Structure 1
Amino acid sequence: MNRILLADDDIELCGMLKQYLEVEGFQVGMAHGGESALNQARTGGYDLAVLDVMMPQLNGFDVLRELRKDSLVPVLMLTARGEDVDSIIGLELGADDYLPKPCNPRVLVARIRAILRRLQSQTQHGEKSAPPEILKLDDLEVQTGSRTVALNGRPVTMTSTEYSVLEVLLREAGHVVSKAELSERALGRELTRYDRSIDMHLSSLRKKLGPLTNGEERIKTVRGVGYQYTR
């Protein structure tokens, strides 16, 4: 049974979502302030954290920023509806996905399950890979079993979602992958209208990996088509 941390200062909403998630088979812990959310998330006792942006003490961005210093626990951000900047900032800080509030509990469950399903699939794949498969291209090396990334021999820290996006692009290096396909294979869900998740994860990957050694763009955007890892 997966354990979910639900962090939101709206006590009534938290209680309602907790009941819904428990009916769906999750164990749920709650936090109503940023400091409490950060402390609970750092215990390692949760499989995923749902963080509201607007919380007292520390807001959701602050919690995520601090959490990413020593934890890669999957995080789904709850942002104000229509505030695209909130979702962009959350993804830039290392969130795995986001949902605007007020959110439909069914959609929340679907997003949570998509993230957990992807992680479970990757873990099972890693356990079956002995020795782990190595994807190596130019200065980049990815070990799929341990889900580690090295650039010029130096480790690169990535969130689970960033790693998933990178692995899909590497496996299709030299070929264009559509945004819709990348969403399905890397995020485990269909692409929705106005969804910026893939764009922001790619932006983060570009910052972490930089250009190729010859100065050429590592991950290209093919306008109106998709994305391509340069071979």
Structure 2
Amino acid sequence: MSEKILIVDDEQEIADLVELYLKNEGYTVYKFYSAKDTLTCIDTVELDLAILDVMLPDMNGFQLCQKIRERYTYPIIMLTAKDEEIDKITGLTLGADDYITKPFRPLEMVARVKAQLRRYKKYNPSHSADHEEPVIVHSGLLMDIKNHECLLDERPLTLTPTEFSILRILLENKGSVVSAEELFRKIWKDEYYSKSNNTITVHIRHLREKMNDTLENPKYIKTIWGVGYKIEG
């Protein structure tokens, strides 16, 4: 069964182009030019990924992202205007997993979609059977990999797929430093990482907020300046 992908962009030429490339890859595409028309689809179709433009005529992409995150954990890719760094950070903070800056190459879009779907299938039990260690326990933190659940002091942590992936990688490498570049490549498995890319930084910050962790006195995620991130063994 082909994965179902939602596209929301009021620039019809862009939406149509993305639809064409994704359909050529065998994906089922649900395309809309406004947020209002999208809401019914979100509630009635079992989607695997969403691509949301930030600038929409009736509701911005951030609000739509929030509505999706209230109920679903599938990956969300935001489309942002050129060099609008605040859009990228806002989208990631609200639960998006990745962003692509306009104008973009259609093949880059396809690569990002494939990377997100690979990661989502790997870490989501409804899409694949995970035969690795089913539960990781560390200092009041319990990660149930098979059921894609995480508890902190017996309190559920609501994590996006990307946040879950980052935390899992750090837990599986307890006692060792994992660089931002290594995290990026393990999660997205593509070549679009650059030193100026702050995607991992934003996700780490959001993880800390959810875990009531701090940069200055971390209990869980420690920043090793100039090297990467680490959870003490």
With the length of structure 2 as denominator, give the TM-score of the two structures: 0.91
- 2-side partners of 1:190 and 1:149: how far apart? 30
Name the stretch that deviates more: 195-204 or 179-188: 179-188
- 1-side partners of 2:191 and 2:13: how far apart? 30
- 2-side partners of 1:100 and 1:128: how far apart? 33
Residue matched to 2:177 = 176
Post-superposition CA distance 1:36-68 (Å, at most 9, x none):
223322324321110000001111001011221
Residue matched to 1:90 = 91
Residue matched to 1:63 = 64
Q: Is the 8 A contact 1:115 1:187 kept in 2?
A: yes
Name the stretch that deviates more: 45-54 or 119-128: 119-128
Identity among equivalent pairs (%): 36
1:145-224 equivalences in 2 (<5 Å): 145-190=146-191, 192-193=193-194, 194-211=196-213, 216-224=218-226
Residue matched to 1:10 = 11
Residue matched to 1:54 = 55
Gaps spanning 5+ residues in structure 2: where? none
Post-superposition CA distance 1:186-220 (Å, at most 9, x none):
333345222211111111100011239xx644211
Post-superposition CA distance 1:156-176 (Å, at most 9, x none):
111111000000001111211
Residue matched to 2:231 = 229
How far 1:3 moved relative to its partner?
A: 1.4
- 1-side partners of 2:191 and 2:232: how far apart? 25
Secondary structure of the residue aligned to 1:15 is helix
Residue matched to 2:31 = 30
Post-superposition CA distance 1:118-160 (Å, at most 9, x none):
1222347962449x62100011000111111000011111111
In the comparison of the two structures, how many residue pairs are matched?
228
Secondary structure of the residue aligned to 1:42 is helix
Give the aligned residue type for 2:224. Answer: V
With the length of structure 1 as denominator, give the TM-score of the two structures: 0.92
Give the aligned residue type for 1:199. Answer: T
Give the aligned residue type for 2:227. Answer: V
CA RMSD of aligned residues (A): 1.9
- 1-side partners of 2:32 and 2:51: how far apart? 10
Give the aligned residue type for 1:9. Answer: D
- 2-side partners of 1:216 and 1:165: how far apart? 16
Flag the 1:136–1:126 CA change in 2: closer, same or farther, 3 A.
farther
Secondary structure of the residue aligned to 1:103 is coil
Q: Is the 8 A contact 2:77 2:97 kept in 1?
A: yes
